[in-house]
Amino acid sequence: MLRKTAKYYKGFMLFVILTPLLMILEVISDVIIPTLMGNTINEGVLTGRIDLVYKNGIYMIIIAVLAFLFGGISTYCGAKAGQGLGKNLRLALFEKIQTFSFASLDKFEVSSLITRLTNDIEIVSNVARMALRITIRAPFMFISATIMAIRINTRLSMVFLIALPVMMFGIMLTMKFGIPKFRKFQAKIDRINARTQENLTGIRVVKAFCREEFEKEKFAGQNQDLVKTALDALNLMIIIMPFMMLIMYAVIVAVLWFGGNFMLQGGMLAGDLFSFILYVGQILTSIMNIAMILMNFSRAKASLERIFEVLETESEFVESIKQGVSEVANGEINFNNVSFKYPGNQHFSLQNINLNIPSGSTVALIGSTGSAKSTLVHLIPRLYDVFEGEISIGGVPIKDYRIASLRDQVAIVLQENTLFSGTIRSNMKWGNPQASDQEIIRALEISQAADFVLNRPEGLSAKVERGGANFSGGQKQRLCIARTLLKNPKIMIFDDSTSAVDMSTEAKIRVELNKFNPDLTKIIIAQRISSIQNVDQIIVLDNGRISGIGTHAELLEDNRIYQEIYESQQKGMAAG
């Protein structure tokens, strides 16, 4: 895991190198001071040599100042390196998510991806900052202080050497049980993020149904579950730290007891005992620091596993991102014995689809809810990949196209009409970053959105709130159609994207689309037969299979499912 992480220090390697080097210099300074203090007591205070006391005092001040400088700069470098790691990991994770197909996105919940991008990376960044300092300081201090303590009195050194295995045993137990608990803790954070996201996304529905109390109870339950899991994980730290402190104080008491006896018996000088106690403090502090960093490693390891789970997820489109056919010849679409099932599902959503859609034609898909209409059109721009068979556009299999080229020429207006915070102009430029205002206005005219946009005082500069909350459903749909038109595609798919538009406006949009580009292939997912009666071809889907293909008149003549849909809608209109 550390080897995988190392490459994400790119651009910050100087700080990665300087942090431990400066920390070693700080440790050397810290280790020298107890020896000087012992020498000052033995050779200066006890013998009355004030000049030696002054001289050693000046040396200690200089060394302490150097230690302060080394430590301060090392801390700064460690912070830069840790934040640099977080920055690079965050960028790599975000870029990886952008390459995901819908299938890859289905594997991870949005709330989980947000947690990994924020909370998990912040944990790793903070632990990296600590690790660059403490993983060098603690072992180096431990070894140096141990050598100095043994040099002063080998017999007395046996006290903390006996305590060492006990402390290490406690640390290893913490590592063993800590990682699974922290992994579970991060999963609980995912769940509470999902709950929060769902509530805030649907807050208007919650208020419309007066379900605030119900939502509060659900959130409180998951919040309590998170607290319980957090305490379960943190209990390890709560237990291990007092345990370590108990051993530390026991060692100090034992050193004072045995060291005092050695001094009374003339086997040890007062200055040596004083230095020895300081070195024991450094040794025990080092062990405490090692315990602390290992416990933090437990949590960071769980977070790193979650981060690399995303980074190591292979997108189906890796080969098609940078290479492949870059130009779609025309809008002819062929399905050749295509079957599809969603990842993890045994059931096929689409089976044995054979279909030809001529370039420039207008085709409608209709069928009952769950008949896989959206699934079928999502396969055309490779939002998902087929499980069996092949789809070709302009005579070329879609897998041979560069993804960017394919999706530029196969534009889809999804059911979810998403607008982004900014202005109408900035949203329109998602379709074409170089689009002029005249081109944007023309697209708005085709989608019947020009009136409500240009009648605003700000015009194209009108503010768009997050998600397009300041526009009605029909307005958002028309803005999304205009944005898609700016791509100037050869194929345009309407995934039930005019459901909030009245029939008169929908008809005007169709007429304008034909004028805009007669060669544009249009695929419409519709719920209302009355809106698709004049299209070139209607495809009836039933449980993932094609039930019938033909014109409105032909399907009324010989397709039972189409007849039932038509009759039910006619009855509904009569009843209305």
pLDDT at 336 over 90: yes
Task: Report the C-alpha gap between 280 and 157 in whole angstroms.
Answer: 9
pLDDT of residue 420: 87
The more confident residue out of 163 and 426 is: 426
SS3 424: helix
Backbone phi, then psi, for 432, in 5-degree steps? -155, 105
563 within 8 A of 556, measured Cβ to Cβ:
yes
Sequence-separated (6 or more) residues with CB below 8 Å from residue 519: 330, 331, 359, 360, 490
pLDDT at 88 over 80: yes
CB atoms within 10 A of CB 173: 14
> Looking at the whole model, is its pTM more than 0.75?
no
Task: Report the C-alpha gap between 135 and 153 in whole angstroms.
Answer: 27
pLDDT at 455 over 90: no
Sequence-separated (6 or more) residues with CB below 8 Å from residue 140: 23, 24, 27
Backbone phi, then psi, for 354, in 5-degree steps? -125, 120
CATH topology of domain 333-416+490-575: Rossmann fold (3.40.50)
Task: Report the C-alpha gap between 518 and 207 in whole angstroms.
Answer: 46
CATH topology of domain 2-177+245-311: ABC transporter transmembrane region fold (1.20.1560)
Read off the DSSP letter of residue 325: B
Q: Which helix (H) or strand (E) holds 23?
A: helix 13-39
Task: Report the C-alpha gap between 477 and 444 in whole angstroms.
Answer: 11
Task: Report the C-alpha gap between 200 and 219 in whole angstroms.
Answer: 12
The model's confidence at residue 306, banded by pLDDT at 50, 70 and 90, is confident
Provide the β-strand partners of residue 362: 522
497 within 8 A of 476, measured Cβ to Cβ:
no
pLDDT of residue 236: 67
Burial class (CB in 10 A: 0-12, 13-18, 19+), 117: middle
Structure-block tokens of residue 471: 């526009």
**2-177+245-311 and 333-416+490-575 share one fold:** no
User: Which among 529, 538, 537 is positioned nearest to 571, based on CA atoms?
Assistant: 529
Dihedral sign, Cα of residue 106, residue 110, residue 111, residue 113? positive
Provide the β-strand partners of residue 492: 411, 522
Structure-block tokens of residue 326: 């870059």
Q: Which helix (H) or strand (E) holds 362?
A: strand 362-367
pLDDT at 321 over 60: no
pLDDT in tens, 169-180: 777 776 677 667
CB atoms within 10 A of CB 386: 20
HEC string for 60-107: HHHHHHHHHHHHHHHHHHHHHHHHHHHHHHHHHHHHHHHCCCHHHHHH
pLDDT in tens, 372-389: 888 999 899 888 888 899
pLDDT in tens, 181-240: 777 777 787 788 777 777 776 776 776 667 778 888 888 888 888 888 878 777 766 677
411 within 8 A of 484, measured Cβ to Cβ:
yes
HEC string for 141-202: HHHHHHHHHHHHCHHHHHHHHHHHHHHHHHHHHHHHHHHHHHHHHHHHHHHHHHHHHHHHHC
Domain residue limits, the chain: 2-177+245-311, 333-416+490-575
Structure-block tokens of residue 470: 């300041």
Average pLDDT of the residues of the chain: 84
**Strongest mean pLDDT among 166-175, 301-310, 311-320, 419-428:** 419-428
Mean pLDDT of the 563-572 span: 80
pLDDT at 110 over 80: no
474 within 8 A of 497, measured Cβ to Cβ:
no
How far is the CA of 288 from the CAs of 79, 125, 215, in angstroms?
21, 21, 44
Sequence-separated (6 or more) residues with CB below 8 Å from residue 457: none
pLDDT at 422 over 60: yes
The model's confidence at residue 2, banded by pLDDT at 50, 70 and 90, is low
Mean pLDDT of the 475-497 span: 87
Structure-block tokens of residue 491: 């194929």
Calculate helix-pair angle for 50-98, 13-39, nearest 10 degrees. 160
The length of the chain, given as a count of residues: 576
Task: Report the C-alpha gap between 551 and 559 in whole angstroms.
Answer: 11
**Dihedral angle of Cα 268, 271, 272, 278, to the nearest 10 degrees:** 140
Q: What is the residue whose two structure tokens read 């870029």? A: 95
Provide the β-strand partners of residue 335: 355, 391
pLDDT at 521 over 70: yes
Mean pLDDT of the 353-370 span: 90
User: Which among 148, 111, 133 is positioned nearest to 31, based on CA atoms?
Assistant: 148
Structure-block tokens of residue 352: 């044995």
pLDDT of residue 230: 79
